[in-house]
Amino acid sequence: MADASRNEFGDFLRSRREKLNPKAVGLPNGQRRRTPGLRREEVAELAGISVDWYIRLEQGRTVSPSVTTIDALASALRLSKVEHAHLRTLARNGDRRAFSHESVPEVVRRMVESLNQPAYVTGRRWDILAWNAAAAELFTDFGQTTEADRNILTYMLTDPDARHLFGATWVDEAKRMVAQFRITYDLWAGDPAFLDLLERLQQASPEFVIWWEAHDIRSVASGQKLLNHPKKGLLCFEYATFQSNDDPALKLAIYNTPCELLHTISGKP
């Protein structure tokens, strides 16, 4: 594993170990537990590996765990399917080329701009690369922001208008996005472009610092968002994301209004 990947691998193991309740694996809490979660020795025993080897893994030393070891650790730490898959990916993620900003094919850009529903395209770092008029009207005109701020996480976590738009749901939505981005970041840990984004978010958002340290991860999924638009009032959207065949790094997000749900929320027939 590359140095940065080893560090993220170890950090992820430690975060899961510290969150695991001893009772969940049949161990007593005991009177002498001074730190939350399991001890390293306990995880090693549950996984059937030596304590020294587990410590080396958690400290990010140069080791290459086998698939069998990864699966044993996932079982010992009671990882979810998403967490298990993430641990496997971190273990096999080797050196890669430096990140470079993606470009959106003109045919994809024209298609997005032609849609009536709010839609935008993001890259691997969640930079906003293309958007249409409906998205600008719903969220903000990204063309009026600097290129450095043209990022969906930067918008959500640092723009006061985003807090007002999402209202009471802002915390849940922002935490969900941070947990989803964590999966991507761990694979690019150490890359200057990702480090720069991380530093900007840490400096601008106290909430981000807390959520980031929790090391929670979530898979990308479709769903619904309730928005309180300053001009249009309460709006409910269904949303989904799609991967581009032209460049798998490009993700298209589309928002669609489910009228039935909107009527229920607004009280209109």
Q: Report pLDDT digits (tens) over 73-101.
A: 999 999 999 899 888 888 876 556 788 88
* 8 Å CB contact between 116 and 254: no
> pLDDT category, 139, cuts 50, 70, 90?
very high
Q: How far is CA 199 from CA 53, 81, 83, 203, 212, in A?
A: 32, 30, 25, 6, 12
Give me the pLDDT at residue 198, please. Answer: 95
Backbone angles phi, psi at 175, to 5 degrees: -65, -40
User: If pLDDT is split at 50, 70 and 90, which confidence band does 65 have?
Assistant: confident
Q: What is this structure's pTM? A: 0.80
CA 10 to chain centre: 18
What per-residue confidence (pLDDT) applies to 258? 64
Q: Distance between alpha carbon 64 and the CA centroid of its chain, in Å?
A: 25
Count each helix (H run) and each strand (E run) in the chain, helices first: 13, 5
Asked if pLDDT for residue 38 goes beyond 60, the answer is: yes
Alpha-carbon span 221 to 164, nearest angstrom: 24
Q: What is the mean pLDDT of residues 187-193?
A: 88
Whole-number pLDDT of residue 262: 46
- pLDDT at residue 89, as a whole number: 83
What is d(CA 93, CA 70) in angstroms, rounded to the nearest whole number? Answer: 13
Domains of the chain: 3-92 (1.10.260.40), 106-266 (3.30.450.180)
Higher pLDDT, 62 or 168: 168
The residue written with tokens 């229920």 in the block is 264
Tokens in use for 44? 């090693």
Give, in order, the Cα–Cα distances in Å from 90 to each of 10, 214, 257. Answer: 10, 17, 37
Q: Distance (Å, rounded) from C-alpha 120 to C-alpha 100?
A: 19
What's residue 266's pLDDT? 43
Structure tokens at 75: 């079982």
pLDDT for the residue 187: 83
* Site of tokens 């293309």: 130
At residue 24 the predicted structure's pLDDT band, cuts being 50, 70 and 90, is confident
Supply the mean pLDDT for the chain: 87
- 69 neighbors 43 (Cβ within 8 angstroms): no
Q: How is residue 133 written in tokens? A: 């008029």
Query: What Rg value do the Cα atoms of the chain yield, rounded?
Result: 21
